[in-house]
Amino acid sequence: MATPQVTTRILRRLLASGVHGRAERLLARMAPADIAPLLSGLTREEIASVIDLLFRQRRAARVLRELPPEMLPEIFDAVNDERLAGVLHRLEIDDLLEMVEWIPEERRSAVVGRLPDAARAELEKAELYPESSAGRVMQTSFVSLDEKMTSQEAIDTLRARADDDESILYLYVIDEQRSLRGVVPIRRLVSAPPARLIRDLMIPDPVSVQPDADQEQVAQIVARYDLLAVPVTDVDGRMLGVITVDDVIDVITEEATEDMYHLAGLSEDDRVFSPAHIAVRKRLPWMLVNLATAFLAAWVVGLFERTLEQVVALAIFMPVVAGMGGNGGIQSLTVITRGIALGEIEFSSGLRAALKELAVGLVMGALTGTVAAGLAYLTVGVPAIGTALFLAMVVTMAAAGLMGAAVPLFLKAVRLDPALGAGVIVTTFTDVFAFFSFLGIATLLLDHLTG
């Protein structure tokens, strides 16, 4: 599994020379994960040639699996329906399902129609499970045993399987009704005496998940109990499939990306390599929401236009209150959102966490507010501006801490994504609160300010 540093340039030259044999040998020596990045630099025709070469090596499907899904449409565009169906049908059902979703709608039925009947039937079944559910990430091939077998018979079963699938780590013991009775780690099987009964070897009542469970929840279970795979069973305990740890790693990575993206008001398919026009289209709706909230903040400032006319210096310190409040809010938001995602909230409680963030905001507001007020007094020499700045920072940062905690906890309580839009809500709130408190307090102190 050596990973030669082969640049797209070398591959292009080999393809252009027409002697495809060398390009083929080059690709054969590389791991699928190392071939995938090369595709992004190729033209439509070159992609088609590479896919053909890989198809002959029966490795095209594995290379496609290693691509960020957002890149798939470009690749699919270079391959005809027949070839695409030929490549895709080699995939496990979970990967097939994901890829089919990235085929442009107008071609989808043509490609799916060319899949073998069995694959198509499985695909139709998998499509019934909800988005991001266990049913969609599970693979349906697994090794099943009978509890009355001996360990030698189990080993023979394994040997009889045509594929040498190294990802098989557990064997599943099922009864006549296909109900999951237990699980045998392959390592146990190896060490067991040949005549030992599977019934005595298996771990009974293993952890399992339902097909409609959210993939994030499945990932948490696997990470929590340090599993290598988790079986998926229906309500009657019948074994449906398996979710393996490599899929779980993908889910964990995906969910972390989703949280980060949602905090920033981004949608998941707006990636580094997405074309600019896609990025604009994806970001525009949230930016318009953000514009509306910015005008809300502007409107609050407008309420105090008369005060600002009297003391223009107030405009100078508006960014300080808003900036510090926004930052404090984002910090609380990040701690709570990540705490929810990691299940850390179990080690505290929502209420305790929110009160803590409130307290932290209060103290931080008092500390940084004192420094800010001092600096403001030194620069403009008006004690009342300093006073307003200090008071506004204390209340704004306390409110920012509370909101930063409360918004994701509330979103979670009503079963929404705790991160989705939370950043915009929290910073809008802190801006509005900052301007209202700072300019409001300043207005109340107006007599002193103008004195």
Question: DSSP assignment of 385-429, as one string?
Answer: HHHHHHHHHHHHHHHHHHHHHHHHHHHHHTTS-TTTTHHHHHHHH
Nearer CB in complex with a second copy: 64/112:
64
Burial grade of 409 (CB within 10 A; 0-12, 13-18, 19 or more)? buried
**77: alpha, beta or left? (left if phi > 0; alpha if psi -120 to 50):** alpha
Q: What is the DSSP pairing of strand 170-174 with strand 144-145?
A: parallel
Query: Is 13 in a helix, a strand, or coil?
Result: helix
User: 260 to 289, contacts with a second copy by CB under 8 A?
Assistant: 260-261, 263-266, 270-273, 275-276, 279-280, 283-284, 287-288
Contact window for a second copy (CB under 8 A) among 89-97, 120-128, 234-242, 358-366: 358-366
User: 91 to 130, contacts with a second copy by CB under 8 A?
Assistant: none
22 binds a second copy (CB under 8 A): no
List b or e across 358-373, with b for residues whose CB sees 16 or more CB atoms inside 10 angstroms. Answer: bebbbebbeebbeebb
Q: Are 135 and 211 in contact (CB under 8 A)?
A: yes
Distance CA 281, CA 275 (A): 10
Shortest reach from residue 222's CB to a second copy, in Å: 8
Shortest reach from residue 54's CB to a second copy, in Å: 17
Shortest reach from residue 81's CB to a second copy, in Å: 25
Shortest reach from residue 224's CB to a second copy, in Å: 5
Nearer CB in complex with a second copy: 63/115:
63
Q: Are 216 and 130 in contact (CB under 8 A)?
A: no
Contact window for a second copy (CB under 8 A) among 45-53, 99-107, 108-116, 305-313: 305-313
Angle 213-219-223 from CA coordinates, rounded to 5°: 140
User: 368 to 387, contacts with a second copy by CB under 8 A?
Assistant: 368, 371-372, 375, 379
Nearer CB in complex with a second copy: 164/176:
164
Q: Are 14 and 38 in contact (CB under 8 A)?
A: no
Query: In Å, what is the CA distance from 268 to each residue of 115, 220, 315, 368?
Result: 29, 21, 38, 36
Q: Which two tokens stand for residue 243?
A: 């979710």
413 binds a second copy (CB under 8 A): no
x/- mask, a second copy, residues 57-86, rule CB under 8 A, reads ---------xxx--x---------------
Contact window for a second copy (CB under 8 A) among 18-26, 125-133, 173-181, 185-193: 185-193
Nearer CB in complex with a second copy: 53/336:
336
347 binds a second copy (CB under 8 A): yes
Shortest reach from residue 33's CB to a second copy, in Å: 5
Q: Which two tokens stand for residue 322?
A: 């808003």
40 binds a second copy (CB under 8 A): yes
Measuring CA to CA, which residue among 395, 378, 381 is closest to residue 439?
395
Q: Are 296 and 428 in contact (CB under 8 A)?
A: yes
Nearer CB in complex with a second copy: 34/88:
34
Q: Please state the φ and ψ torsions of residue 312, each to the nearest 5 degrees.
A: -60, -30
Residue in the structure block whose two tokens are 């300080």: 320
User: 313 to 342, contacts with a second copy by CB under 8 A?
Assistant: 313, 315-320, 322-324, 326-328, 330-331, 333-339, 342
Among 5, 118, 177, 191, binds a second copy (CB under 8 A): 191
Nearer CB in complex with a second copy: 223/420:
223
User: 427 to 446, contacts with a second copy by CB under 8 A?
Assistant: 427, 431, 435
Among 200, 226, 236, 447, binds a second copy (CB under 8 A): 226
Length of the chain: 451
